[in-house]
Structure 1
Amino acid sequence: MHIYVDADACPVKDEVYKVAMRHEVPVHVVANSFMRVPAHRLLTRITVPEGPDVADDWIAERADAQSIVITSDILLAQRCIEKGARVLSPKGKAFTENSIGQQVATRAIMEDLRGMGEQTSGPAAFKPADRSNFLSALEVELQKLKRGR
């Protein structure tokens, strides 16, 4: 089992570290700039070169059915789901085979609207309840993976 964190704008890295250490699961924190990661044998910082989707590509190439990916990037989520990985947003929402198609379509529509000059609101602000939801969701996904071994 492995946890991959799309780390550049992830607000729940500390929570991932705590849960992963409790479960003895390796974590790969992937970013295209230096990021401080606690010194621990289970935690690895991966700094990829600058460029569009380089961190996403690194994660997607390694994700598999024994992985949990933490990201808010819908296209990365889709790629990882296709490889059998479990994917969570930092707010604790699970991306699934059943939901990802609609989320990708909505993303494309919003991108088209922005391209036409429409003002869109963007994602809702991160709240304390989101942190709690994420912790619960990560715990559930780790338990599912452990039972599936």
Structure 2
Amino acid sequence: MTIWVDADACPVVVREILFKAAVRTGVTLTLIANQAVRVPPSPYISAIQVSSGFDVADDEIVRRASAGDLVITSDIPLAAEVIEKGAFALSPRGELLSTENVRSRLIMRDFMDTMRSSGVHSGGAAAYSSADKQMFANQLDRYLAKQ
């Protein structure tokens, strides 16, 4: 199993949790981003820089992810694609996405996108909180314990 991280928008605090988990469990962790990402020296942790462009990092994650892998992303379309391949998706806020809930999240995302394009301002996502950090850490621990 490999943990893939959509690193362009991943909060630093989530990366730190992932670094510690990879070292503690020996799980391979790979961050993929359009820009250089610093990672600690470890045989379990690596980073891949892809070229700039719309969805280039997402496409690379989809190409590399396999059944049973875990993808860390807040990008719902990316989550839907890796779930179709048999991987799992976990948001930085601790929401584990699955075949049971990703479709409804994708529909809501598309609805909100339509609302924004028609001029309705929804205010955006709430700031990342310590409760989000705790939810993420707990969900990651539960997932890794099952592996």
TM range (shorter): over 0.9
**What secondary structure sits across from 1:97 in the alignment?**
coil
Partner of 1:6: 6
Identify the match of residue 108 of structure 1 among 107, 110, 116. 110
Partner of 1:53: 55
TM-score (norm 1): 0.94
TM-score (norm 2): 0.95
Aligned residues with identical type, % of pairs: 42
Distance 2:24 2:71 in 1: 18
- Matching of residues 31-110 of structure 1 within 5 Å: 31-110=33-112
Could you give the per-residue CA deviations for residues 77-103 of structure 1, whole angstroms, max 9, x where no partner exists? 000110111110001110111111111
- Matching of residues 100-139 of structure 1 within 5 Å: 100-139=102-141
**What secondary structure sits across from 2:31 in the alignment?**
strand
Note the aligned Cα RMSD (angstroms).
0.9
- CA positional deviation for 1:66: 2.5
Distance 1:50 1:126 in 2: 26
- CA positional deviation for 1:48: 0.3
Query: Which is worse superposed, 46-55 or 122-131?
Result: 122-131
Partner amino acid, structure 2, of 1:31: A
- CA positional deviation for 1:67: 0.5
